[in-house]
Amino acid sequence: MADLSGKRGLIVGIANKRSISWAIAHAAHNAGARLAVTYQGERLEENVRELSAALSEPLILPCDVTDDAQMANVFSEIEQRFDGLDFLVHGAAFAAREELSNPFVQTTRDGFRVSLDVSAYSLIALARGALPLMERRGGGSILTLSYLGSQRVFQNYNVMGVAKAALEASVRYLAADLGAKNIRVNAISAGPIKTLAAAGIAGFSNILQIYRERAPLKRTVETAEVADAAVFLLSDAGRAITAEVLMVDAGFHATGM
């Protein structure tokens, strides 16, 4: 297993125990990392604090990724408590339910703006905040979470697919921008998992069944499997990998009919 002993990390996007971000936090903790975790609003605070009891003295902070002041406060607290940052996991994404269920041609201007802001721009904003803290540590690793809907049309995914495409493009541009500072930027494109976000996608159970039928491994994936891949990319074991979108989807992306 990849080693994160002595590393300091920030995990953004935990909603509940089914979150991929939580699975990554748990795996990073087991690999030796010291963590800061964030929650979005009072509604999710209790979940995050309850889960974080399993971590070793985590720093728990509010972070609405549409609020620049809150993000600035997160990095200020990390600077004071951690004196630098080795990795950042970006798991924030959002689209209004009606933007997913309505035909894509009916996507509203505001729905488009909010989805791209939360799901894609927030990676850029968080990377900018993490930059001086990672430079202090001699470099770092940034990881975000994507889905195959960035490349192919999935029913009821709609504007989120466009947001994930923008997110993956942002990974490449950030990797090019930050590589000279020894900061790597990658994404994991995971197979469908029953997370809180997935609950907003109509027909999600059908997507799971299609993966089981067509993926080379004849199954879907678990959050722990995504987390293991994430720890690899965050650790020194992945030190030569950047600008990559790693598919962790039981091979489904390679199939045709």
Question: Half-sphere exposure of 37 toward its Cβ, with a 13 Å CA cutoff?
Answer: 32
Q: Is residue 247 within a helix (H) or strand (E), and if so which, with residue range?
A: strand 245-248
Residue 92 DSSP label: -
Of the candidates 236, 165, 192, which has an alpha carbon nearest to the alpha carbon of residue 18?
Answer: 192
Residue 121 DSSP label: I
The position carrying tokens 């199939």 is: 255
Options 3.40.50.720, 3.10.20.30, 2.30.110.10, 3.30.420.40; CATH of 8-248: 3.40.50.720
In a structure prediction context, what are the per-residue pLDDT tens digits for the chain, which is 257 residues long? 589 999 999 999 999 999 999 999 999 999 999 999 999 999 899 999 999 999 999 999 999 999 999 999 999 999 999 989 999 999 999 999 999 999 999 999 999 999 999 999 999 999 999 999 999 999 999 999 999 999 999 989 999 999 999 999 999 999 999 999 999 999 999 999 877 666 667 677 888 899 999 999 999 999 999 999 999 999 999 999 999 999 999 999 999 86
Confidence (pTM)? 0.96
Which residues, at least 6 apart from 191, have a Cβ–Cβ distance to it below 8 Å? 211, 215, 220, 221, 248, 249, 250, 252
Catalytic residues: 147, 157
40 vs 256: CA distance, rounded Å: 38
By the 10 Å C-beta count (0-12 exposed, 13-18 middle, 19+ buried), 7 is classed as buried
